[in-house]
Homo-oligomer: A and B are copies of this chain.
Amino acid sequence: MRKKTSLKDIAGAVGVSTALVSYVLNNREKEARVNADTAREIREAAKRMSYHPNQVAKSLKSGKSLAIGVIVADISNPFFGYLARTIEDESKKKGYTVIFGSSDESMKKSQRLMETLINRQIDGFIIAPAEGTEPQLEYLEKANIPFVLIDRYFKNLETSYVVIDNFKATYQATGKLLENGKEKIAFVCYKNKLQHTKERYRGYVQALKDHGKPDVKKLICEVEFNNSAYFRDKFEGLLNAPTKVDAVLFSTNTLSIMGLKLVIDMGIRVPEDLSVFCFDQSESYDLFYCPISYVHQPLEEIGQRAVQILFDRMSNKQNTYQQVILNAELVMRKSCGK
């Protein structure tokens, strides 16, 4: 069993042309008015010879790959894993295959990934874009390859996207901590120029300002990606500083986890010594000794909407940009004190 069965093999076996076989196996026998008996014979032969249509040949012919590319920062991060899973399920329903790739927030890797997928004639993209990837998106635009951004977007680029209202999310979370009487609320975020990062930052700052606390410089801890040693230093420094932080708001799930580990290591008690507000979701928020309050993103809806928008675009049902801003939900637990 070396070689795969092709349409031609079946045609030969049944004694008809490949055209007929093609019609029948694509269930288009009616419109092609194929004889019912011939059709049956073809189907039987296909089954008997265990025929599998060659999607590569189909794609070459049709110009459609029936595949979409999904670029996230890291598929092993549960945040993206869950998003990816939703996208996978949703796309499968429409007969599409999904090809995932991790960019590690790197422009270079994102570029390579995108090229690979473009070479594979991907029909569309769903992307959580890394910093500085605007030109890559502009290229997609120029090349007329539909795409939808998730999680982040670029202010100066008109695209479709599905994100949450990040400003509101941190504004409200900070507000809750303030309501609970916290005076020195720290904010931990990544250092980058991505829209979602900036919005979360703005939301936090604005909330403090609106409560007569414009002096935030010493409360903010900006750290680099993929550098946990740096994070440790920086955050430990903040907690030990004379500022005497009494609450902290983490702006992503990875930061939250790293932060909580350090909190344990330092023997800091939550919420007695420190109130904590996290972001995204994690099993750990339930398992930490003090149940963690967090900003919950509707990942399933984000994935579904992104797929919907992409498919509308790909099928030309919709050729305007769609911009969806969803609300995050504050899940209140004991960790933000009282």
| A97→B99 contact, CB < 8 A | yes
Chain B contacts for A116, CB-based, 8 A: 97
Chain B contacts for A106, CB-based, 8 A: none
From B75, B142, B287, give the contact of A88 (CB < 8 A): B75
Stoichiometry, as copies per complex, reads 2
| Given A101-B88, A287-B257, A57 contacting B60 (CB threshold 8 A) | yes
Which of A77-85, A211-219, A312-320 is found at the contact surface with chain B? Answer: A77-85
CB-nearest residue of chain B relative to A70?
B100
Asked if A157 is an interface residue, CB under 8 A from chain B, the answer is: no
Give A1-26 interface residues, CB cut-off 8 Å to B: 1-2, 4
From B67, B115, B282, give the contact of A283 (CB < 8 A): B282
Asked if A221 is an interface residue, CB under 8 A from chain B, the answer is: no
Most buried by B among A53, A101, A257, A284: A284
Which of A29-37, A117-125, A201-209 is found at the contact surface with chain B? Answer: A117-125
Chain B contacts for A283, CB-based, 8 A: 257, 282-284
Complex Cα distance, B104 from A275, in Å, reads 38
| Given A84-B75, A99-B99, A257-B283, A55 contacting B289 (CB threshold 8 A) | no
Chain B contacts for A52, CB-based, 8 A: 115, 118-119
From B56, B74, B84, B144, give the contact of A56 (CB < 8 A): B56
Chain B contacts for A288, CB-based, 8 A: 287-289
| Given A2-B144, A75-B75, A99-B97, A119 contacting B53 (CB threshold 8 A) | yes
Chain B contacts for A65, CB-based, 8 A: 56
CB-nearest residue of chain B relative to A99?
B99
18 contacts between A and B (CB under 8 A): A1-B142, A1-B144, A54-B60, A54-B119, A55-B119, A55-B120, A56-B59, A56-B60, A75-B75, A75-B85, A76-B82, A78-B81, A89-B102, A257-B283, A260-B287, A284-B287, A287-B288, A288-B288
